[in-house]
Amino acid sequence: MFTPLVRSDQRAKGETYLRGLLLDGRRKSMQPMADRLGVDHQGLQQFVTTSTWDTTAVRMRLARRAVDVIEPVAWVVDDTGFPKDGKSSPGVARQYSGTLGKVANCQIGVSVHAVTDTASCPLGWRLYLPTVWDDDAVDEAARPEVATARARCGIPDEERHRPKWALVVEMLDDLAGYGLRPPLLAADAGYGDNSQFRSALDERGIGYIMQVKGDALAHEPGVQPVPRVWSGRGRPPTRTEPRYPKTAISLVEHVHAAGREAVETITWREGSKGLMSSQFVFLRVRPAGHRVARDADGLLPERWLIAQWPDDEAEPVKYWLSSLPATTSHTDLVCYGKIRWRIEHDYRELKTGLGLDHFEGRSWIGWHRHVTLVTAAHLFITELRSDPKAAAPA
């Protein structure tokens, strides 16, 4: 993994840092790791924060290796929070973190993971920058202070506030540049509710299955758009594309219209307490919205709507939209929709075992190097687990 590091001392420091991440110990910040390794922590700090080595080259080697080892059935995108006490770390702000379940002072890391039901590993990372870290986006009076904070953290000038879904698209494009494309993409409603994100995946030919909220709107598949007609009175309409004659209804209403008779019981995998199964409704719909891309005839794309509606619940509890082919089996749709559970396993292991959120540095490059090295450690133990010849613990 460290072949792109041309200097032997950098490769040696990289291997030392990895050993520190893999050793037992509650904290995986530099001083505790250096103490356990019996080395000078300043050497580790210099390697991560000021040494000259290409994070991108190492990360792409890791991504290729992860895809070869895991042979993923899907890629999963998500984000996770890194709680912070102060205000000096890049990207830190009071913002909502799904990991913490509340608004807190934290950084947010966005990631893409290769997954199966038995293995997974991150393929890419981006540090999310809230608007308060973009001196082009804040009030003029605040710009000097923000510019100073950016310079102190070494944030590149081209790194600006962008929505999290846009960071994911950038990672997908970067990985595609190295010949890596997802078999399909899975995400939670934080990404699935965004029609711009779904359209970006459509433009790239990437199939997806993503959770959405039940109040999202959609048309029935058979409803056709009709040309707009101007009555000749008032101003001519500014929009010229065909319009749908009926108002779109919520996904909840679509499922209720299908009724309980449409429910199927699906088993998707073996859990720690036995087979996991529930009841689902499967429908074809055309998701609505002015940002949803249409074809030349003004037709909205047809998609799968999957709703989990357990027998003991009065209302469906989860919804997904998927661009997978109409011939996809219902069992496969549920398996793909539920594959996101691996991401929680990743984050738990990355944080509690490998110190993903233990980095105490305040530099942009330091954060990205730390998460890259943690990814290398995670891939190493993933390979050990998947190797049938690896020695089992006593």
Strand, coil or helix: 304: strand
Residues whose CB falls within 8 Å of the CB of residue 29, separated by 6 or more in sequence, listed in order = 355, 358, 359, 360
Burial of 204 (0-12, 13-18, 19+ CB in 10 A): middle
**Dihedral of the CA atoms 76, 208, 126, 144 (nearest 10)?**
-140
Banded model confidence at residue 209, pLDDT cuts 50, 70, 90:
very high
**Residue range 159-165: average pLDDT?**
96
pLDDT at 394 (0 to 100): 41
- Least-confidence region, from 61-70, 277-286, 343-352: 343-352
Q: Token pair of 163, please?
A: 């929505």
Mean pLDDT of the chain: 90
pLDDT at 157 (0 to 100): 94
Helix, strand, coil shares of the chain as percentages rounded to 5? 35, 20, 40
Rounded Cα distance, 372 and 365, in Å? 10
Q: Name which of 166, 229, 192 is nearest 306 in CA terms.
A: 192
pLDDT at 390 (0 to 100): 55
- Higher-confidence position of 139 and 297: 139
239: pLDDT strictly greater than 80: no
**pLDDT tens for each residue of 179-197:** 999 999 999 999 999 999 9
CA 9 remoteness from chain centre: 34
229: pLDDT strictly greater than 80: no
**Residue range 234-261: average pLDDT?**
86
